[in-house]
Structures are given as structure tokens and as C-alpha cells.
Structure 1
Amino acid sequence: MAVCNTQYYWHDERGKKVKCTAPQYVDFVMSSVQKLVTDEDVFPTKYGREFPSSFEALVKKICRHLFHVLGHIYWAHFKETLALELHGHLNTLYAHFILFTREFSLLDPKETAVMDDLTEVLCSSPSGGSGRDGAGSGASGAQNHVKER
């Protein structure tokens, strides 16, 4: 695996911007998401407990960070997913994630624009204007189509 010069930044709990490597960034994201999802004050599981007023903003933040991780996986590790024959699973995860975030307006389209080509291939219907017949191999990305409602 080649080392790249991409610099990642994470804002710690005090709001300080910290430089980090890709593995550190992914660890920060996953740890942060785990902490939020298991926080009873953010995601209440008891009957009668209300969600916080900041719930939507927190979910949008979670989705933005997870989108960054998915983007990194495609950009830096897609060859490995192909070699391990995991690309179909990754494509399906990505398509479902994008359709979910679109349904509830959880990501800013400007921020996801960098992945629009992939999104179009994976989230459009096989005959829906993408110019592909839907029968392509995983290398072209034209598999595991999920139709948007």
C-alpha cells in the first residue's frame, strides 16, 4: 500500500484542530460515533425520554464523518476491496448510506459532490439514464443497484 500525502484534520472535544493520519482520523470518527450512539442523552432508549434539541445536527455530523471515511476507503483502498472481492459489499453499503442520507437531507450535496459519479452509477436504476446496461462487473461499479424512491 502506497503512502500518500493527504492530510486529515480532526476537531477534538475542546474544538482544537488536530492534524492526523488517515488511520487516526478513521479511529477518531469511529470512536466519536460509538460514543454518541451509546449516549443515552443523545439516543434515548427508554420510553418517555426525549431526543435532544441538537439531535438533527448531531446525526448530520455523524453522517458527514462517515461519508468522509467511505470516501477514503474508495480513494485509498478500492484495489484491496477488489482483490478481496468485497467491492460489492462496499458498493451496497455506500448506495444505502447515500439513499438514506438523501431521504432525510442529512448531507450537504456540495460536500458529497466529489463522489457524484460513483453515486450516479450505484444509485440510479440500470436503465435510468446512466448509459449503462446494469450488467457490468464490479470494476466499473455497475453492480448492486439500489433504486431510489
Structure 2
Amino acid sequence: TTFFHHVNLQYSTISEFCTGEACQTMAVCNTQYYWYDERGKKVKCTAPQYVDFVMSSVQKLVTDEDVFPTKYGREFPSSFESLVKKICKYLFHVLAHIYWSHFKETLALELHGHLNTLYVHFILFAREFNLLDPKETAVMDDLTEVLCSGGGRGGGGGDGAGGGGAGAQNHGKER
């Protein structure tokens, strides 16, 4: 639930800039993301609608006692791993959208260090437990390489200065 709360908080800092007019599709680079409703039907939506669908869906899952039991002795569902992977995929889409479409605003708000730290922590956690398909995250490989190989020089932490901040800033401008 912590990643959900932190991604939601990070998005909330730029949500006023992520409008249906400014972000008509949920796209990152040349990849467009679609929401799939409960019947599995593909829904084309704006980025803010997509993020709202993600946050509502993930909120429902992380607070569902049958999915994330909090009582001792309760079993996790057999679908737990696939649900966690789905949550991670959706949260990754939101983080990628923030970088691709709203990094300039994040930088102006001086929140890029927080975004970089959140992103690195999320990616390393997802890698450790094999929660994201590398094909899914390929769109962010350049940034991931810069931030995750910082060798202590701003590798996602601090104020974004050094290797992490400069790489992220350039990454946002290149696209």
C-alpha cells in the first residue's frame, strides 16, 4: 500500500496540469495505455481518467481484506501474485506518465528528487520480486539506467542533483 500512497501523492502534486485537454490520451512515448473495464472491454480515456481508474481500482484492492488480509491466520488468495503484478503495472504507467508529460512541472515544483527516489525504490522492489514485465518497462529503460546506476551520485535520492537529476531532466527534454 505504501507505493500506492506515494504514487498517488506524487501524482496529486501535478494533477492540476494533467487535464483532459493537455493529456488527451494516457500515453508514454509511442505507447498508449488503455483501461479495461470489469468485462475486459478496452476503454479509450484521457490520462486523468486513466489515473482515476487506476487509483480507484488499486485503492479497492489494497483495502480488500480478502486480497490483502491483515488478520493473523488469514490466507492470501491464489490470485495474489497476479493482482500485485497488475497493481505494479498500473502504478508504473502513472509514474511513466508523470515523467513523460509532467516532468517540467515536477521540476518547477522542486519535487524531482522525490519523484526520482520513489521511481528507483519502486523499480528496485519490482525487480527484486519480478513484479513487472521488462517489455512493459522498456519505455523507461534509459531513465531507469541513469537513476538505478547512480553509484551514490544521486541514484534516485536527495535533491535530484548529480547523475539522477541531470539524467532525468535530459530524459524529459529528449522526448
Same fold (TM over 0.5): yes
Question: 1:19: how far off?
Answer: 1.3
5+ residue gaps, structure 1, are: 129-133, 143-149
Q: Does 1:112 align with 2:131?
A: no
Larger Rg: 1
Cα contact 1:82–1:139 (8 A) shared by 2: no
Identity across the alignment (%) = 82
Report 1 or 2 for greater relative contact order, CA contacts < 8 Å, sequence distance ≥ 6.
Answer: 2
> AA paired with 1:126?
G
**Equivalent of 2:162 in 115, 119, 135:** 135
Distance in 2, matches of 1:121 and 1:35, equals 34
Give the structure with the larger helix fraction: 2
What corresponds to 1:92 in structure 2? Answer: 117
Question: TM-score scaled by structure 2?
Answer: 0.72
Mapped to 2, the partners of 1:88 and 1:81 lie a distance apart of 9
Q: Which residue of 1 aligns with 2:5?
A: none
Runs of 4+ in 1 over 4 A off after TM superposition: none
TM-score normalised over the length of structure 1: 0.84
Q: How does 1:6-85 map to 2 (within 5 A)?
A: 6=25, 8-85=33-110
Deviations, residues 59-103 of structure 1 (Å, cap 9, x unaligned) = 000000000010100011000000000000000000000000000
CA RMSD across the alignment? 2.2
Structure 2 unmatched runs, 5+: 1-16, 27-32, 154-160, 170-175
Aligned residue in 2 for 1:147 = none
